Amino acid sequence: MHEHFIDIPGRATGTIHRLTWFSFGDGNDGPHVYVQGGLHADEGPGMLAARLLIDRLIEEDRAGSIRGRLTIVPAANPLAFGQFLHGDQQGRFDHYDGRNFNRDYPDLAAKAVSLVADILDDDPQANVARIRQALLEALETTVPSAPSDRLRHALMRLALAADIVVDLHCDGEAEVHLYTQPGSLKRVLPLAALTRCRAVLVADVSGGEPFDEALTRPWSVIAGTFADKPIPQGCASCTLELRGRGDVDRKVAADDAAALVEYLRHVGVLAGEPTIPALCCEPTPLAGSEALVAPVSGLLSYSVPLGHFIDAGEIVAEITDPVTGALHPVRARTSGVFYARPATRIAEIDKRLGKIAGIHPFRNGPLLSP
């Protein structure tokens, strides 16, 4: 194991934010897998799982079980790790400009297309190496200045070299669920099975250039541009949501780390033959996921638990006006698993109250929450 540091200058004179990452193996004997936690720095479950994964990998390294390369970033956002407001950590949005730390990653597709236009041939593996190098070169043509963009740049530089990328997050309160793209789905479904995901949400483009899509979408664009050349999907990525913000528990995180270890065995970066359980759900389109919204303000209570299968028209929550006592039911418009909801119980108008994984696409435009 090797420990590495990247120092990111802050906005103020004399301030530095240090990004720490760990590497295992050399990448010449097998695949390269990248795992990060804490891109949203107020989401602790993924950071704890990533840290315990490092501990497990130290044991695997001592046993000589590593067959490829692993890059683990346990706390991927040192900028937001120190953002607090009145005692509460604020890790999702940059306090300076309000941008979501998991949005606005550079779109490298067009530049990479121009770089590989004259060098692709009929060797698929050679094409993967050429495209990966082109993506790294395309990234280096971007010139970040803001600390948050320097962080985006640093994380992408680390992850672009990987064959598989797992970005660990969580929701307010949630069942384990996963976001991915069609080109990545086959390779990440075993991870969904091992972590017992209750929803697997699939979209080619979800909007906003989140981290995982910024890594995989250029491969789809390049393959579509040069359809006469054999171009495998060189990077499969996903965002794995490990329950809710309050679910920071060493035993649960140890189970998550164990599931990640088995997945690493499955993809061949660790020695051994894992047993992959059956999926707990079938993949559904992200465009079919209903985001319930509060039509009125008031006190929020839920009529059904997380993990419940909702029928269209069923009451999911009730909002009570604390002054008048008026009760407003909130009904689902689609059927599916109720997989996530906020951690707070006071609703303002248009507050997102929960997510239901429906099977029929009905939404267009940006599909992720802000």
- 331 class by beta-carbon count within 10 Å (0-12 exposed, 13-18 middle, 19+ buried): middle
Q: What is the mean pLDDT of residues 256-267?
A: 98
Instruction: Give the other-Cβ count within 10 Å of 348's Cβ.
Output: 11
Q: What is the mean pLDDT of residues 95-100?
A: 97
Q: For residue 365, what pLDDT is reported?
A: 87
Q: Are strands 199-202 and 284-285 parallel, antiparallel or unpaired?
A: parallel
Cβ neighbours of residue 330 under 8 Å, at least 6 residues apart? Answer: 292, 294, 295, 315, 316, 317, 318, 319, 353
Q: For residue 27, what pLDDT is reported?
A: 67
Over residues 229-257, the pLDDT tens digits come to: 999 999 999 999 999 999 999 999 999 99
What class does CATH assign to 284-357? mainly beta
Residue 368: pLDDT band (50, 70, 90) is very high
Task: Confirm if 76 and 19 have CB atoms less than 8 A apart.
Answer: yes
359 conformational bin, left if phi > 0, alpha if psi -120 to 50, beta if neither: alpha
Given a cut of 80, whether residue 29 has pLDDT beyond it is no
**Residue % of the chain over a pLDDT of 70:** 99
Alpha-carbon separation of residue 331 from 290, 305, 335, 364 (angstroms): 11, 14, 11, 21
* Rounded distance between C-alpha atoms, residue 1 and residue 66, angstroms: 11
**Residue % of the chain over a pLDDT of 90:** 97
Over residues 269-301, the pLDDT tens digits come to: 999 999 999 999 999 999 999 999 999 999 999
Q: Where does the chain hold its CATH 2.40.50.100 domain(s)?
A: 284-357
Given a cut of 70, whether residue 307 has pLDDT beyond it is yes
- 354 class by beta-carbon count within 10 Å (0-12 exposed, 13-18 middle, 19+ buried): buried
* Rounded distance between C-alpha atoms, residue 270 and residue 263, angstroms: 9
Q: For residue 21, what pLDDT is reported?
A: 98
Joined together, the tokens standing for residue 262 give: 């088995």
Q: What is the mean pLDDT of residues 7-23?
A: 96
Q: Are strands 69-73 and 16-25 parallel, antiparallel or unpaired?
A: antiparallel
* Rounded distance between C-alpha atoms, residue 69 and residue 1, angstroms: 10
Q: Which long-range contacts (CB under 8 A, 24 or more apart) does 311-317 make?
A: 311/335, 316/292, 316/353, 316/354, 316/356, 317/292, 317/353, 317/354
Strand partners, 239: 167, 179
Over residues 50-72, the pLDDT tens digits come to: 999 999 999 999 999 999 999 99
Joined together, the tokens standing for residue 1 give: 């194991």
* Rounded distance between C-alpha atoms, residue 52 and residue 250, angstroms: 8
Over residues 182-230, the pLDDT tens digits come to: 999 999 999 999 999 999 999 999 999 999 999 999 999 999 999 999 9
- H/E element holding 23? strand 16-25
Cα dihedral 349/350/355/359 (nearest 10): 130
Task: Confirm if 263 and 191 have CB atoms less than 8 A apart.
Answer: yes
Over residues 311-325, the pLDDT tens digits come to: 999 999 999 999 999
Over residues 137-179, the pLDDT tens digits come to: 999 999 999 999 999 999 999 999 999 999 999 999 999 999 9
Instruction: Give the other-Cβ count within 10 Å of 318's Cβ.
Output: 15
Assigned fold of 2-267: Aminopeptidase (3.40.630)
Q: Where does the chain hold its CATH 3.40.630.10 domain(s)?
A: 2-267
Q: For residue 369, what pLDDT is reported?
A: 87
Please give the full DSSP string across 26-46, using - where no structure is assigned: -SSSS-EEEEEE-SSTT-HHH
